[in-house]
Amino acid sequence: MNYFERKIKGIRTTWQEMSQGLQMIVKGLKERPLAESLKLFWDDLFANRSLSQWLYLLVLGSFPLWLELYYNHQVRDWVGMTCSLTGIICVIFVSEGRASNYFFGLINSVIYLILALQEGFYGEVLTTLYFTAMQPIGLFVWIYQSQFKKKEQEFVARKLTFSNWLKYLLITAVWWLGFGLIYQSIGARRPFRDSVTDATNGVGQLLMTAVYREQWIFWAATNIFSIYLWWGESLQIQGKYFIYLINSLVGWYQWSKAAKKDGGSV
């Protein structure tokens, strides 16, 4: 069996598993009373959270409101504040392993998509369309893995070699310049500011899939460039990415410890 045959077989197996999983989830939801489903959602939102987790959520979650009151002395940008708040809650819930992160992620993606369209940031529109579509898919995979498949996966954080660093930096540069020229040709605002976040997002996702700790450097770069992209346009969106940047630095620290513990580069 050659490489392509193995890949096709793997895709077919995954598709069959996902189809069976979807049927199991639908069947389970039909058999479960509405009150029980609502209780599961409520528990996922609030149950099993320590005091430190509550404080972390409240402090970071209050940042958008504090930003409005500090600079405007009242809430003026309700849309931007809602986008910022739902995004912050989403990333915190992801770190806590709560499936309800997808509920807030979907709200955040839809609002951010509208804002990016209004500003003419076509790169952000393209990226957000992908993230919006992935919210229900991600929720399905999350529920299927945790409730039905129950397969433990070993986590091993890896480090990039020097040659791999060069490869991924080259991919980032080509991605950035290529999409920047495309966005420039269709009249996008700030085309090369816009495309750089496409590149860092894309490469970050590749590294995340391959379990490399360096993904957090690219996520941090995405957040920094996103703050730059939205400079002078929306204080709330800049604030959201500032909180994301903090989360990226925490992630880098945690994954660096894991990579040091597990061994060498790959």
Dist. CA 214–CA 121, nearest whole Å: 27
Dist. CA 218–CA 172, nearest whole Å: 10
Query: Residue 153 has what pLDDT?
Result: 44
Element (H, E) at 245: helix 235-262
Range with the poorest average pLDDT among 27-41, 71-85, 220-234: 27-41
Q: Is residue 134 part of a domain?
A: yes
Query: Residue 188 has what pLDDT?
Result: 76
Evaluate if pTM is beyond 0.75.
no
Q: Is residue 132 part of a domain?
A: yes
- Closest CA relative to residue 63, chosen from 45, 47, 46, 86: 86
Q: Is residue 246 part of a domain?
A: yes
- Residue 261 tokens read as 């513990």
Q: Is residue 26 part of a domain?
A: no
Query: Residue 167 has what pLDDT?
Result: 93
Q: What is the mean pLDDT of residues 90-97?
A: 77
Q: Is residue 188 part of a domain?
A: yes
pLDDT greater at residue 9 or residue 266: 9
Percent of the chain whose pLDDT exceeds 90 = 11
Q: Is residue 3 part of a domain?
A: no
Q: What is the mean pLDDT of residues 130-149?
A: 66
Model pLDDT for residues 148-192, shown as the tens digit of each residue: 544 444 456 678 889 999 999 999 999 999 988 988 888 877 888
- Closest CA relative to residue 125, chosen from 60, 64, 209, 182: 182
pLDDT greater at residue 26 or residue 191: 191
Query: Residue 173 has what pLDDT?
Result: 95
Query: Residue 86 has what pLDDT?
Result: 92
> Which residue type sits at 265?
S
Query: Residue 69 has what pLDDT?
Result: 82
Domain span holding position 129: 49-148+156-260
Query: Residue 17 has what pLDDT?
Result: 55
Q: Is residue 2 part of a domain?
A: no
pLDDT at residue 122 tops 80: no
Q: Partners of 265 in the beta sheet?
A: 159
Dist. CA 118–CA 129, nearest whole Å: 14
pLDDT at residue 1 tops 70: no
Dist. CA 34–CA 15, nearest whole Å: 29
Number of compact structural domains in the chain: 1
Q: Partners of 158 in the beta sheet?
A: 212
